[in-house]
Amino acid sequence: MINRVLLLSASAGAGHVRAAQALERAFATVGVAREVRHVDTLEYTNKVFRKLYAQAYIEMVNSAPEVLGWLYDTLDTPWRRERRRLVVDRLNTGPFRKLVREYNPDLIVCTHFLPAEIVSWLKAKGKLSCPQAIVVTDFDVHAMWLCHNYEKYFVALDETKFHLEKLGIPAGKVEVTGIPIDPLFAEKKDRAALCAKHGLDPSRTTILMSAGGFGVGPVEHILQSLVEVQHPVEIVAICGKNEELRKRLSKVASKLPAGSNPVKVVGFTTEMDEYMAVAELIVGKPGGLTTSESLARGLVMVIVNPIPGQEERNSDHLLEEGAAIRCNNLPVLAHKIDGLLADRKRFAAMKAAVARLAHPRAAFDIVEHAARLVRP
């Protein structure tokens, strides 16, 4: 039994935090640790650094995604700039380093590269001796994830493992587990019962629109394109915590002409796994966590406006594996979906590809492997 496990995320985008929360639930379910603590690293940094790290990212996603893509590619130079980056990170993470040393965990699991780098430095200086596991939360691995002092990497794909090996990471220190998602996504659900619960028509194909991640993008246009699908479908637009977006989409839905495909606009929900269990398609951006949840629920993805950088690379993997289609021009979105729904053989092949890529129990697999890193 492990005494203390420290899960370290960073709220620069929601995926890293959700991955840590999934691991927290898996640890609680498996019961291999007496105490599990999840910490958002950015809460233990100075305000200026925290704002730059988190808010600047979100602002670039919404207003200058091409700049974000350029930065992603520019910084993807393995084993370069690490000393310069470490100096900046150390100067701004004093409270975080203090927290880690005082908590004195038996195992650290990082779902973001910032805490992984700091923990690696603490281990190098002899200020920390516990094993560190690093969970990569996208399908590709960026140079920012690389560090020198760790016991295990957990990645989504065989290709990612091979990439790390080519960069000098020993094969025995990399496990292909998938990206950790909430254990709820591994549970089987009754579609008819869920349709009744959420007021959906079970005779229609449900299309899930993951709207929250679009920020200030062309969300209304996406919804207007979706309602033009000729097959009998029902659209569920998930807006998350973006209340303004929920109001905007509700206004669009209220003005649709009679006979249009029905639209259900949903604000913040803790039942995303249930909506995914009802749906067959998801339209949205291929973030690592959303994609992994969708794969676990057997959803074919329709990729729209992926963020340059990690989401573009996630897109490439999904398209290469035949688990997604991509729409670059919104006026043809309905046409592409109708073409897919009309070709049942192709659709079935894509769902089979989704099943091959899915890792619904990734969180449990990571917990099992990570627990072995702690000496009895």
Tokens matching residue 43: 């809460």
What average pLDDT score do residues 211-226 get? 71
Alpha-helical segments (H) within 137-287: 158-166, 191-198, 219-226, 243-254, 272-278
Give 133-192 pLDDT, tens digit per residue.
999 999 999 999 999 999 999 999 999 999 999 999 999 999 999 999 999 998 999 999
Chain position carrying tokens 């016991």: 151
Give 261-314 pLDDT, tens digit per residue.
899 999 888 899 999 999 999 999 898 999 999 999 999 999 998 888 889 999
pLDDT of amino acid 46: 84
Q: Give me the phi and psi of 201, to 5 degrees please.
A: -85, 110
Instruction: Check if CATH label 3.40.50.2000 holds for domain 2-181+361-371.
Output: yes
What average pLDDT score do residues 251-268 get? 87
Instruction: Check if CATH label 3.90.1150.10 holds for domain 184-357.
Output: no
Q: How far apart are CA 348 and CA 165, in angstroms?
A: 34
Give 84-140 pLDDT, tens digit per residue.
777 777 778 889 999 999 999 999 999 999 999 999 999 999 999 999 999 999 999
Sign of torsion over alpha carbons 223, 333, 137, 292: positive
pLDDT of amino acid 211: 65
Q: How far apart are CA 339 and CA 217, in angstroms?
A: 25
pLDDT of amino acid 259: 79
Give 233-247 pLDDT, tens digit per residue.
999 999 888 888 888
CATH 3.40.50.2000 positions along the chain are 2-181+361-371, 184-357
Q: Which residues are CB-neighbours of 312 under 8 A, at least 6 positions away? A: 69, 306
Tokens matching residue 247: 């109001």
Q: Which of 72-81, 142-151, 212-221 has the highest mean pLDDT?
A: 142-151
Q: What does 71-94 look like in DSSP terms, one character per residue?
A: HHHHH--TTSSHHHHHHHHHHH-H
Sign of torsion over alpha carbons 361, 202, 242, 58: positive
What average pLDDT score do residues 13-20 get? 89
pLDDT of amino acid 191: 96
What average pLDDT score do residues 4-9 get? 97
The CB-based long-range contact list for 343-350 (8 Å cut-off, 24+ gap) reads 347/300, 349/322, 350/300, 350/322, 350/323, 350/324, 350/325
Q: How far apart are CA 335 and CA 229, in angstroms?
A: 7
Give 28-55 pLDDT, tens digit per residue.
999 999 999 999 999 999 888 887 777 7
What average pLDDT score do residues 57-82 get? 80
pLDDT bin (cut points 50, 70, 90) of residue 214 is very low
Q: Is the pLDDT of residue 216 over 60?
A: no
pLDDT bin (cut points 50, 70, 90) of residue 369 is very high
Strand ordering across the sheet containing 152-155 = 33-40, 2-9, 107-110, 132-135, 152-155, 174-176
Q: Give me the phi and psi of 50, to 5 degrees please.
A: -60, -40
- Average pLDDT value for the chain: 91
